Chains A and B, each alone.
Chain A
């Protein structure tokens, strides 16, 4: 258990200071004893203990990712719970919701038991999600009550949207009874079938099959209506289109229990980078247009979209070393998320540090109902923190990634804002 003193650091606590101007944020010393924040104040001393100088740096609550693919069990060549956790720590994350498209899929308590056992061995918090349907086949409900007892926080069939509206209705009813979040990867696969990138002028120019924005929007609209019908907590995963945001806005205005996330890549890069047929720019939902990006950023600012989630989806170089049409969908994101968010929203978008910390830590913690443990900086709670330099410039290289995979669409990108150290579950990681 770490004993640590962080001196003279700007404290960015989104629970208190989400809207505070950066210059008015408190600068203090933070004392961590046996993994707990014991004192926040000025002139603190701790003889013989490890000390970090926080001058010019910021302390944020450790980040919480609602959408991580750890790939274990089943696809350990891509990522494992251990390597995924270390990728998370490098990115300032302290907790992740793990996605259930493992092999076998997380449709049975035994799989969840296994993930939780392995998660206990890493210095990182993993909250598993289970599948909505057995085998993620969209036919019969998974044993959600059992899965909940085993420790899941949400249900989702992730990459495979539940196409059967009746099954989804039942899933929402059942899940809401169990107080489980229903996460939906909104995409009508019948409509997007065969597509590999956003449908539009760029797909026409590149001769690649398009995925129409409507395939997402139809799914968003249906799931919102089912959330209205059932009262379930619907969490919309990785929204990517302007029209999805409009549908979300209407649902929120009506007071429905709907929350939403956006990925760093969907606000950080447009479909145009597919020029050259780079398979590391291929993911679900596909990269969209600059117009969509502008709307997504504004929706984050307005609080319509609640948080950033990485959709960290590792694939080996061999998986991606092929023709664009046959390459698997997905990019990694844990280690670059903060840099992208800072570059795009803080430096280029004029956000406050408090608002950045809110979308990275506080808001996802609230969605998980874990806001007493995560997403805040308080005396008396376990130290789960990210020490960051908001203005440090760095370049993303595949050599420095801790993830087992290097399928990032941000390789060679210059970013401004970097995680220097993460404190999680009583341990300190310096980068």
Chain B
């Protein structure tokens, strides 16, 4: 374990974290990894603490992963689920904060369809806030579990060539990964049609290419992003068919890759679109390891933040 002591109240994104803090979370996660392998999958670290899972956008994977992490830490949990914005129900973000405050919860895990919402929640709340995905902005625990998986498979992050393929523009997973990986010294490449590459992203120290072969060739890790089928109707690409022709990862494309390349995907996978089934189920894929590691990483984050609940928020 590093000597570093965690001091932040919230985990809102990797953009505002220091490299040493990211490493500390990853180190901490390692110590939680074996809890899920025991016959009694529970430690008392968060006994007596209450965690509210506030999911204002549909989510299965992240929600279940957080819930398991909380339960394995012995926390009491409540689920608050709504679809769409709080405003749809006529409740302002501020009222939501005040209500949560009154419920005396220690920690809030928030998923929200609008960027920045957890930042505003955190500012008004004494409880710790974990961003479980906000709009197209960040999904820090997903990026942390991706980094944890890279570490597990490759033993390091610094100096690795890590490529993201797909809809970078709308991807909070890509954004959080870019912040985290560049801080830890990886060489990040993003690849996708020009319509789905955010403006100015190269200024974040990221290489941009529109050519899949180029993106694959030197990659140590390929992280695929789910392509949302509705992007076709918004004219981001002409058809799923053409998208798959240009950007699908399949056996043929992987012939150009390094022999020890690792394939990741945050899920859910569109089999046959961004990735073929044989690759999903094949030897390069670590997609299910990501799912398992997600629990350890989220346990680590919950554990670290619970020690600092009630302190000052960042900004």
| A residues neighboring B (CB under 8 Å) | 199-201, 203-210, 212, 276-277, 318, 321-326
CA distance A276 to B315 in the complex (A): 8
Determine whether B268 belongs to the interface, using a CB cutoff of 8 Å to chain A.
no
Minimum distance in angstroms from B30 CB to a CB of chain A: 29
Most buried by A among B112, B116, B117, B199: B116
CA distance A74 to B269 in the complex (A): 49
Minimum distance in angstroms from A120 CB to a CB of chain B: 38
Instruction: Report yes or no: B134 in contact with A322, Cβ–Cβ below 8 A.
Output: no
CA distance A124 to B282 in the complex (A): 76
CA distance A34 to B155 in the complex (A): 86
Instruction: Report yes or no: B112 in contact with A208, Cβ–Cβ below 8 A.
Output: no
Q: From DSSP, what is the main secondary structure of chain A's interface residues?
A: loop
CA distance A24 to B203 in the complex (A): 50
Instruction: Report yes or no: A277 in contact with B116, Cβ–Cβ below 8 A.
Output: yes
Instruction: Report yes or no: B119 in contact with A277, Cβ–Cβ below 8 A.
Output: yes
Segment touching A, from B1-9, B87-95, B251-259, B297-305: B87-95
Q: Which B residues are in CB contact (< 8 Å) with A199?
A: 199
CA distance A212 to B198 in the complex (A): 12
CA distance A200 to B198 in the complex (A): 8
Minimum distance in angstroms from A171 CB to a CB of chain B: 30
Determine whether B115 belongs to the interface, using a CB cutoff of 8 Å to chain A.
yes
Instruction: Report yes or no: B93 in contact with A321, Cβ–Cβ below 8 A.
Output: yes
* Beta-carbon nearest neighbor of B13 in chain A: A207
Instruction: Report yes or no: A324 in contact with B114, Cβ–Cβ below 8 A.
Output: yes
CA distance A212 to B136 in the complex (A): 17
* Beta-carbon nearest neighbor of B176 in chain A: A207
Most buried by A among B15, B134, B136, B172: B136
Determine whether B240 belongs to the interface, using a CB cutoff of 8 Å to chain A.
no
Within the complex, which residue of A200, A212, A321, A323 is in contact with B116, where a contact is CB–CB below 8 Å? A323
Instruction: Report yes or no: B85 in contact with A323, Cβ–Cβ below 8 A.
Output: yes
Minimum distance in angstroms from B98 CB to a CB of chain A: 11
CA distance A325 to B88 in the complex (A): 13
Q: Which A residues are in CB contact (< 8 Å) with B112?
A: 323
Per the 8 Å Cβ criterion, residues 130-157 of B in contact with A are 134-138
Interface size class of B (residues with CB under 8 A): 20 to 34
Minimum distance in angstroms from A395 CB to a CB of chain B: 20
Determine whether B201 belongs to the interface, using a CB cutoff of 8 Å to chain A.
yes
Instruction: Report yes or no: B200 in contact with A200, Cβ–Cβ below 8 A.
Output: yes
Determine whether B74 belongs to the interface, using a CB cutoff of 8 Å to chain A.
no
Q: Which B residues are in CB contact (< 8 Å) with A276?
A: 119, 123, 315
Within the complex, which residue of A204, A207, A326 is in contact with B200, where a contact is CB–CB below 8 Å? A204
* Beta-carbon nearest neighbor of B115 in chain A: A207
Q: Which A residues are in CB contact (< 8 Å) with B15?
A: 205
CA distance A207 to B93 in the complex (A): 19
Determine whether B175 belongs to the interface, using a CB cutoff of 8 Å to chain A.
yes
Contact with A along B101-114 (1 / 0, CB 8 A): 00000000000101
13 A-B residue pairs with CB within 8 Å? A199-B199, A201-B200, A206-B115, A207-B136, A208-B116, A212-B199, A276-B315, A321-B94, A323-B93, A323-B120, A324-B116, A325-B85, A325-B114
Determine whether B37 belongs to the interface, using a CB cutoff of 8 Å to chain A.
no
CA distance A247 to B15 in the complex (A): 37
| B residues neighboring A (CB under 8 Å) | 15, 85-87, 92-94, 112, 114-117, 119-120, 123, 134-138, 172, 175, 198-201, 203-204, 315
Instruction: Report yes or no: A207 in contact with B175, Cβ–Cβ below 8 A.
Output: yes
Instruction: Report yes or no: A325 in contact with B135, Cβ–Cβ below 8 A.
Output: yes
CA distance A389 to B154 in the complex (A): 67
Minimum distance in angstroms from A262 CB to a CB of chain B: 24
Most buried by A among B86, B134, B138, B200: B200
Minimum distance in angstroms from A194 CB to a CB of chain B: 9
Task: Sort A-B residue pairs by CB-CB distance and give the 8 closest, nearest first.
Answer: A207-B137, A277-B116, A201-B200, A323-B114, A325-B114, A204-B198, A207-B115, A321-B92
Q: Which B residues are in CB contact (< 8 Å) with A318?
A: 92
Q: Which A residues are in CB contact (< 8 Å) with B200?
A: 200-201, 204
Instruction: Report yes or no: B137 in contact with A200, Cβ–Cβ below 8 A.
Output: no
* Beta-carbon nearest neighbor of A210 in chain B: B199
CA distance A199 to B200 in the complex (A): 9
Instruction: Report yes or no: A323 in contact with B117, Cβ–Cβ below 8 A.
Output: yes
CA distance A200 to B138 in the complex (A): 17
Most buried by B among A204, A209, A210, A276: A204
* Beta-carbon nearest neighbor of B112 in chain A: A323
Minimum distance in angstroms from B13 CB to a CB of chain A: 8
Most buried by B among A204, A208, A276, A323: A323
Q: Which A residues are in CB contact (< 8 Å) with B120?
A: 277, 323-324
Q: Which B residues are in CB contact (< 8 Å) with A210?
A: 199
Minimum distance in angstroms from A427 CB to a CB of chain B: 39
Minimum distance in angstroms from A319 CB to a CB of chain B: 10
CA distance A41 to B135 in the complex (A): 64
Minimum distance in angstroms from A321 CB to a CB of chain B: 5
CA distance A325 to B56 in the complex (A): 14
* Beta-carbon nearest neighbor of A208 in chain B: B115
Instruction: Report yes or no: B119 in contact with A322, Cβ–Cβ below 8 A.
Output: no
Q: Which B residues are in CB contact (< 8 Å) with A204?
A: 198-201, 204
Q: Which A residues are in CB contact (< 8 Å) with B94?
A: 321
Instruction: Report yes or no: B201 in contact with A322, Cβ–Cβ below 8 A.
Output: no
Within the complex, which residue of A206, A212, A326 is in contact with B137, where a contact is CB–CB below 8 Å? A206
Instruction: Report yes or no: A322 in contact with B116, Cβ–Cβ below 8 A.
Output: no
Q: Which A residues are in CB contact (< 8 Å) with B93?
A: 321-323
Q: Which A residues are in CB contact (< 8 Å) with B123?
A: 276
